Amino acid sequence: MTQYVAGIDFGTTNSSAAISDGKTVRMVDVENGKDTIPTALFFPDKSNQVYYGRNAQNEYTSGDNPGRFMRSMKRVLGTSLMRTGTVINGKPMRFDSIVGYFVKYLKQQIDKAAGHNVECVVMGRPVHFRDDDPEGDKRAEQELEKIAIAAGFKQVAFQYEPIAAAFAHEQDIKSDKLAFVLDIGGGTSDFTVIRLSPKRKFNFDRTSDVLANTGVRIGGNDFDKALSMKSFMPHFGLGTEYKAYDKNIYLPTAPFISLSTWSSVNDVYNYKTLNMVKGYVVWGLEPEKTKRLYEIIENRLGHQNLDYVENAKIALSSATEYDVKLDFLSDTPTIKTNRRTFEMAIEQDVKKIEQSVQECLNIAKIKNTDIELVILTGGSTEIPYISHVMQSYFPNAKLSSENKMASVGLGLAYDAMRRFCANSKVR
């Protein structure tokens, strides 16, 4: 029987998996004919059932089945939250168990595609799980390794996600290229300078071909947060005032920041915050806005609102203006936004990305004009502002964006083939 190995791209926003028999690589159907799945879980109240991906999103947004919706779980790796956990259905649950549900689901889809229990996997990882925190970064990888083993894998290796994307693109190149990989995912932006070669693509040791890696903890979720704070939260009371005795005071920003951050939305669903916001409705100078904030928290609509924010972000990649009707709120307000507002909101984040790109080139000791191929991967590379900045940064390079959402998963499987398959060309 053919023995398969696997690669798993466990992403902040979306995940994928691929398998290899030592000769070929193919993506895994991870959800109803799709080769990517939203990294999302839904735990219904008073039930032991767990929903995954699009099914989780649908169960949450339908409103028919109250429960706990979770996204951006990857961002918890390496933090103190992994140990403290959270509450699901009234019971405490550690985040390694929560992440474990999702990784085990991917393992089940891999085994189904392979037709047997797959024991060897290469897991993708960002260059930095945690910025400026070497211990937290090391801890995050160790936590993910334990989760993969608990899911049923016996051998677990790791590869930087931008290097994996390069391996996937390398399969089709006809000549040697000095490449720069720009991987902007949901939670991190990662960069690699690498020499690609059709002659060396099956070599087991590619260490000498990787000239530099850098990364920064900024991604699509941060762009969602920026757009939410700029265009959405003012309609819920951000920037407004409430009466406190003989003076007016601005509403605190904390609940708005939590509602704009995928990994922190659930933090506002508590009696203390709800009671505080109820006071803003009574004493606020613009109660029509704070009533919306109260409705969102009371009915746990934060993730649903962020879905609309994310859709607006995606729409502004092709449109210069976009109107959003929030039909999940009782007064169905319309949010008007535009590409320029969005670009101003993410400007500082993009500058940090540029700094990390330059750092990568400096470590590799090459100039931006030396790069012949730029590999774009991750959904946020489709943002026109980011695409324009990168095109300007690498004037002599061809831009490649094939398999943008699946390239990391494919590359991880190619890496697994090199590492684990006795019959692969690298042995």
Q: What is the mean pLDDT of each run of 10 residues along the chain (427 residues)?
A: 91 96 95 95 90 94 85 92 86 93 98 97 94 90 97 97 94 93 93 94 86 96 97 98 92 97 93 96 96 97 96 96 96 97 97 96 96 92 91 90 84 94 56
Token pair belonging to 306: 């962020």
CA–CA–CA angle 79, 184, 34 (5° rounding): 95
> What ranges in 63-160 are assigned the alpha helix state H?
81-84, 95-114, 134-151
Q: Do domains 5-172+402-420 and 175-401 have the same CATH topology?
A: yes
> Any idea where the domains of the chain sit in the sequence?
5-172+402-420, 175-401
Q: Residue 72: left if φ>0, alpha if ψ -120 to 50, beta else—which one?
A: left
- Determine contact, residues 188/127, Cβ cutoff 8 Å: yes
Query: How high is the pLDDT of residue 1?
Result: 62
Q: Would you give the DSSP letter of residue 410?
A: H
pLDDT of residue 399: 87
Q: What distance in Å separates the CA atoms of residue 40 and residue 172, rounded to the nearest whole number?
A: 32
* pTM (2 d.p.): 0.90
- Give ∠ CA 203-208-209 in degrees, rounded to 5: 70
Residue 147, both tokens: 């989760």
87-116, pLDDT tens digit by residue?
888 889 999 999 999 999 999 999 999 999
Amino acid at 406: A
Tell me how far apart the alpha carbons of residues 236 and 306 are, in angstroms, rounded to a whole number: 13
Rounded CA separation 307/310 (Å): 5
Instruction: Give tens-digit pLDDT for 304-327.
Output: 999 999 999 999 999 999 999 999
Widest CA span of the chain, in angstroms? 80
Query: Which residues share a beta bridge with 292?
Result: none
> Class for domain 175-401, per CATH?
alpha beta
Measured CA to CA in angstroms, residue 374 lies from 43, 193, 362 at distances of 40, 9, 16
pLDDT at 48: 85
Strand partners, 180: 193, 374
Classified by CATH at the fold level, domain 5-172+402-420 comes out as Nucleotidyltransferase; domain 5 (3.30.420)
In the block, tokens 């470590």 appear at: 363
Angle between helices 53-62 and 302-315 (to 10 degrees): 120
Please say whether the beta carbons of 290 and 251 come within 8 A: yes
Closest CA to 180 of 409, 412, 393: 393
Question: Of 80, 34, 87, 91, which Cα lies nearest the Cα of 57?
Answer: 34
SS3 25: strand
pLDDT, position 426: 44
Distance of alpha carbon 208 from alpha carbon 423, whole angstroms: 24
Q: Which amino acid is at 158?
A: F
CA-to-CA distance for 182 and 166, rounded, in angstroms? 10
